[in-house]
Chains A and B, each alone.
Chain A
Amino acid sequence: MKLLVLLAIVLLIIAGHQLLRIIELSRGLKKTKEWQLTNSDNNLMGRGMLIFMILFFVFFFWQILRWRERALPSSASEHGFKIDWLWDVNMNYIVIPVFLITNFVLFWFAYKYRGNTNNKATFFAHSNKLEMLWTVIPAVALAFIIIFGLKYWNEIMADASDPNRITVELYAKQFDWTARYAGKDGKLGTTDYRQISGSNSVGMDTSDVLGHDDILVKNEFHIPVGREIELLMRSRDVIHSAYLPHFRAQMNCVPGLVTAFKFKPVKTTEEMRKDPYVIQMMAGINKQREKEGKEPVIFDYLLLCNKICGASHFNMQMNVVVESEKDYNVWLAKQKPVKAMASK
C-alpha cells in the first residue's frame, strides 16, 4: 500500500515536471509574456474585487444575523448598562459605518478604475482641502469617543465608596478561585503569604483576630442583588484575571498586589434564567449539548480566568449566585468562619 502511494507520488511529480516543460516551451512562442497584464486580466480581477466586496458584506451580515444571539446577554450590573450603551453607539454609528463605507469605496474604486490600455490615469497628487477634511472628521468623532469613554471609565474605576457595600476577596491560584467574606465584624483579616499551608490556603495572618470570623468559599459564591459589591483580588502564584463577563467586570489578580473592581448586580440568577434572551440562548446551548450527548444545563453567572496562567487556564471557573438580600443572608449564615474550620 505504502509502495503504491509512493509510486503515485513519483508519477505525479514526473507528470507535473513534464507539464511544466510543455508550458515553459510554449511560452517561448507567445508574443506577450505570462507576467504581463492584459485588459482581460484587469477586467477579471476588477470584477473579482467587486464580487469579493459583495460576498464580504453578505458574510458580514450573515454573521450578525446568525451569531448576534450568541453574544453575552445585556448587562447584569448597573455600570454595565453604560458600557453596553457606549458600545452600541460606537459600533452602530462609527465602527460599522466606517467599516462598510470605506471598504465599499475601496473595492468600488478598484473595480471602477480597473486598468485598460486605452485609459490614462488623472494626475492628482494632493488637495489640502480633502486632507484637512479627513483629518478633522476623525478628530471630531474621536473627541466624542474620548469624552464619553473617559467619563464612564472614571465612574466605573473610582474607588468603592458606598458605606453599605459588601466586600468580597477573590483569591486566585493555579487553578481555582476562593472567595473570602469579612464575617460578622465586617472586616477582612490581613494576610501573609508565608503562612500559606494546607489548612491556611489563602495565607491569612493567623495573629490577626479580625480574620478569625472570615468566611472562605469555593466553587460558588453568593452576592445580593442591588448592593454595591467591592471585589478585592489577590493571587498566590502567577497573574490571573478575574473575568465576570455578564457583569462587564474584569481585573487582573497580581501576586504582590491587591487589585479592586466594584459593581452593583441588578438581576438575580433566577431573573436571568427567566429572561427571554437567556432562555433562547440556553436553548441553543442545550441543543448543541444534546448533539454531543451531554446533560442540559441552566444559566449561571460565571467567574473565569482571563489571563494565561498555566496548563489548566481553560478550566479555572467559579459559579456566582446573585440572589435577594434575604436569601443571601441565609446562605451567609450557613457558612462557617475560618477559625471554626481550622479547629475542626
Chain B
Amino acid sequence: MGTKHTATELEHGHATHHDHAHDHDEHHETFVSKYVFSMDHKMISRQFLITAVIMACVAMTMSVIFRMQLAWPGEKFAFVNALLGDKWAKDGILDPNMYLALVTIHGTIMVFMVLTGGLSGTFANLLIPYQVGARDMASGFLNMLSYWFFFVSSALMLGSCFIEDGPASGGWTVYPPLSALPEAIPGSKLGMTLWLVSMAVFIISSLLGGLNYIITVINLRTKGMKMTRMPLTVWAFLITAILGVLSFPVLFSCALLLIFDRSMGTSFYLSDIYIGGRPLDNVGGSPILFEHLFWFLGHPEVYIVLLPALGITSEVISTMSRKPIFGYRAMIGSMLAIGFLSFIVWGHHMYMTGMNPFLGSVFVFTTLLIAIPSAVKAFNYITTLWKGNVQFTPAMMFSIGLVSSFISGGVTGIILADSALDINVHDTYFVVAHFHIVMGLSAIFGMFAGVYHWFPKMFLRMMNKKLGFLHFWITFISAYGVFFPQHFLGLAGVPRRYYTNSNFPMFDNLVDINEICTAFAIIGAFGQVVFLFNFFYSMFRGEKAPQNPWNSNTLEWTTPVAHIHGNWPGKLPVVHRWAYDYSKPGQEHDFVPQTVPLAEGEHDGGEH
C-alpha cells in the first residue's frame, strides 16, 4: 500500500532531516485510498469540511423551520409539510414534539458536528502539519479513523431524524429525567438512544483527532519551529485539542451513565419519579449530577468551538492588516488562561438548578475572571488593525465580523455570569441571544474566514472575491438581525424552547420582534446559497491559485501548488523567525516568510 509506505518514510524523513525526494508520481493510489480511506491530512481536512458544510445546511434548514413556527404559529407552510411529512407537519403546521426535536438536533449538529468536528477537524488537520512544517499528522491512520468515526456519528445523527418516534427532543443538553424516560417525550425513545450512540462515536472521533493534534504539535515541529515561533492558529488548535482530550471523556461517562439509566435500570440520575401512571423504582440518583458532568464538558466545549476560530482570525487579521499580531505572547497567555479557566466555570450554567448557592458564588468569581483574557484578546485584535494597511479579503471581513460578534456577545456574558442577574434571565431568550452571538456567530465567522483564506491551499483554486463580499454582507447583517432582537424577548421574560409564545397573553406584543428575527433568518439562509455556489463552483472552476496569494509568512505557503505526500518535495523547510514579520522596517517586501534567515543584527519576535 502506497500510503502506508509513505507514512514510515515520513517519520524517518523527519527524524533525520534527510533529503527524501517524495516522488509522489510513484504512488498509484486507488480511488478508495485517495478519496475515501485517505490518511493524508489535506484530504481528511477536506472530508471534514465538506461533511460539516452538509451538516450545517441541514441544521440551518431546521432553524428556518422552527423560526417560521415562532414568527407565524399556526400558519400552514407547504414546504414544511413537504420536508417533514404528514406525521410531523400536518397541513404544514409543525408538531410541538417535532419543534422540540428540531431545536435539539439543530443545536447538537451546530455545536458538535459543525463547530467542533467541522471547525477543528478541517483546520487543525489542514494547518497543523503545514504550519509546523511536518510531512503529515503523527498518525495518519488514527487521523483517518477520526474522520470516519465523525462520519458515522454524523450519519447516525441524521439517520435518527427518520425514525418513527422522531429524533431526540430534550434539548441539546439532554437533561434527564426528560431524556431518560421514554414516557416523558417521544424523542426519548429510540431517537435518544441514537443520539447517545452518535455522541459516543463522536467523542471517539474527537479524542483520536485531538491526541493526534497534540502529538503532532509537540513532536513534529520542523527545525527552528520553537513553540514561541508557532503561528497562533497552531497554538489555538493545540489548546483546543488539550481541552477536548480532558473534557470529552467526562461527557462520555456522562452519556454512558445515561445509557445505563435508560436501558439497565440503574438510578444515577433518577429518583422519586412518577410517570406513565406508575411510580418508578429508581431512588437516590440526581439529575443535578448529570448537569455537573455534562457542563464539565459543556463549558470547555464553548472554548473548543471558539478558540480555533480565534486562532484563524489572529492569523488572518495579522496577515491582512500587513502588521504583526499585537501582543503575540499575551495572545498565547490569554488562550492558556481561557483554556485553564474554562474547566472551573461550568457551574454558571446551573445557578438556578438547586445547586448550593454558595457553590454558585464560586462560579461567579471564576466565570467573571475569564472576561479578562477575553478582553485582552479583543483589544489586541483592534490594536492590530491600528495603523495597518487593511486588505479587505472576504476572510478579513469575516474576521472583523468575528471580533465584533465576540465583543457584542461577550459583554452580555458579564450579565449572565453574575448569578444575581441570571435569576431573571436564566433560560430566556436573553441567553439564546448571548450564546448565539458570542459562540455561534463568532465560531462560524471564524470558519468562513478560514475557508476563504485557505481555500487556495485546500483546493488549489481561488474563490470568487465579489461573491465572497456579497456573502459576507448578507451573513453579517442577517446574523445580527436574527439574534440582536432576541435580547429584547429575554427582557420581556420569554423562555427558551417554547413552541409558541401565543399561549401567554403577556407575550402577545412581541409578535413583530419574532417576525423580524425570522425574516433575517430566511434572508441569511438564502445568503448561504451564494457561499455554497462559490464554494463548489470554485472547487472545480475557480481561478488557479498561485503559491502565496496573500503574501503570507507561514510555512503552508512555501509548499508547491499541488497536493503531494509529505507536503514539501525534498527537505523540510527550516524556520528562522516568528510568523508575524509583516511590514518590518528595513525589509524589501511587507512580509518576510518564516524560512528567511535573520539578517545580521536582526531581532526575532517583534523586536526591531
Contact = CB atoms under 8 A, between A and B. Distances in A.
A322 interface: no
B51 to A, nearest CB: 26
Most chain-B CB neighbours within 10 Å: which of A157, A238, A317? A238
A245 B493 contact: yes
A99 B178 contact: no
B4 to A, nearest CB: 37
A142 B328 CA distance: 24
Nearest to B280: A193
Interface string A224-263: 0000000000001111010101001111101111010000
A83 B421 contact: yes
Q: Is the interface of A mostly helix, strand, loop or mixed?
A: helix
Nearest to B608: A123
Given A125-B606, A126-B329, A156-B423, A135 B372 contact: yes
B361 A255 contact: no
B397 interface: yes
Nearest to B468: A35
Given A120-B590, A236-B274, A256 B464 contact: no
Nearest to A174: B184
20 contacts: A35-B549, A67-B491, A109-B388, A110-B400, A121-B389, A139-B372, A142-B371, A150-B361, A150-B365, A249-B423, A249-B424, A252-B354, A254-B354, A256-B273, A306-B427, A306-B495, A308-B100, A308-B497, A310-B185, A312-B96
A309 B510 CA distance: 23
Contact of A70 (B284, B326, B424, B488): B488
Contacts of B147: none
Most chain-A CB neighbours within 10 Å: which of B177, B412, B420? B420
A289 B415 CA distance: 33
Most chain-B CB neighbours within 10 Å: which of A107, A146, A203, A289? A146
Interface of A: 20, 24, 27, 33-37, 41-42, 45-46, 48-49, 52, 56, 59-60, 63, 67-68, 70-72, 80, 82-83, 86-87, 90-91, 94-96, 98-99, 102-103, 105-107, 109-110, 113-116, 119-127, 130-131, 134-135, 138-139, 142, 145-146, 149-150, 152-154, 156-158, 174, 193-194, 196, 203, 236-239, 241, 243, 245, 248-252, 254-257, 259, 281, 284-285, 287-289, 292, 294, 297, 302, 304-315, 317
Interface residues of B, number: 129
Contacts of A120: 322, 389, 583, 590
Contact of A256 (B286, B389, B513): B286
Interface string B489-523: 00111011111110111101111010000000000
A24 B462 CA distance: 13
A23 to B, nearest CB: 9
Given A145-B418, A149-B419, A306-B428, A254 B372 contact: no
B228 interface: no
Nearest to B330: A131
Nearest to B96: A311
A99 B391 contact: no
Contacts of B324: 123-125
A256 B424 contact: no
A255 B464 contact: no
A317 B272 contact: no
Given A33-B462, A308-B496, A196 B274 contact: yes
B19 interface: no
Most chain-A CB neighbours within 10 Å: which of B388, B423, B484? B423
B96 A302 contact: no
Contacts of A63: 484-485, 488
A123 B583 contact: yes
Interface in B389-404: 389-393, 397, 400, 403-404
B476 to A, nearest CB: 7
B323 A121 contact: yes
A60 B354 contact: no
B279 A194 contact: yes
Given A113-B321, A115-B390, A312-B96, 17 more contacts: A34-B465, A35-B464, A67-B491, A90-B421, A98-B411, A106-B400, A106-B407, A124-B324, A125-B326, A126-B326, A196-B279, A243-B495, A254-B354, A255-B272, A308-B100, A310-B178, A317-B503
Most chain-B CB neighbours within 10 Å: which of A20, A80, A281, A285? A285
A119 B389 contact: yes
Nearest to B492: A70
Nearest to B393: A37
A251 B352 contact: yes
Contacts of B246: none
B327 A126 contact: yes
A193 B493 CA distance: 32
B302 interface: no
A236 B279 CA distance: 9
A245 B204 CA distance: 42
B499 to A, nearest CB: 4
Given A131-B330, A238-B184, A37 B391 contact: yes
A138 B370 CA distance: 10
A243 B495 CA distance: 9
A159 B248 CA distance: 36
Contacts of B407: 98-99, 102-103, 106
Contacts of B582: 121, 123
Contacts of B496: 306, 308
Interface string B344-362: 0000000011100100110
B255 to A, nearest CB: 18
A114 B274 contact: no
Nearest to B392: A45
B354 A251 contact: yes
Contacts of A314: 96, 497-501, 503
Contacts of A311: 96-97, 100, 185, 499
Nearest to A295: B505
Contacts of B322: 115, 120-121
Contacts of B427: 241, 243, 250, 306-307
B420 A288 contact: no
Given A106-B385, A174-B184, A239-B177, A257 B286 contact: yes
Contacts of B357: 153-154, 157-158
A257 B273 CA distance: 11
A260 to B, nearest CB: 8
Given A153-B357, A304-B495, A236 B273 contact: yes
A139 B371 CA distance: 8
Contacts of A313: 100, 497-499
A251 B328 CA distance: 44
B177 A255 contact: yes
Contacts of A239: 175, 177-178, 287, 353
A151 to B, nearest CB: 8
A180 B551 CA distance: 72
B421 A87 contact: yes
Nearest to A159: B357
B369 interface: yes
A257 B288 contact: yes
Most chain-B CB neighbours within 10 Å: which of A91, A154, A252, A259? A252
Most chain-B CB neighbours within 10 Å: which of A48, A135, A254, A292? A254
Contact of B360 (A80, A126, A153): A153
A115 B391 contact: yes
A103 B404 contact: yes
A288 B508 contact: yes
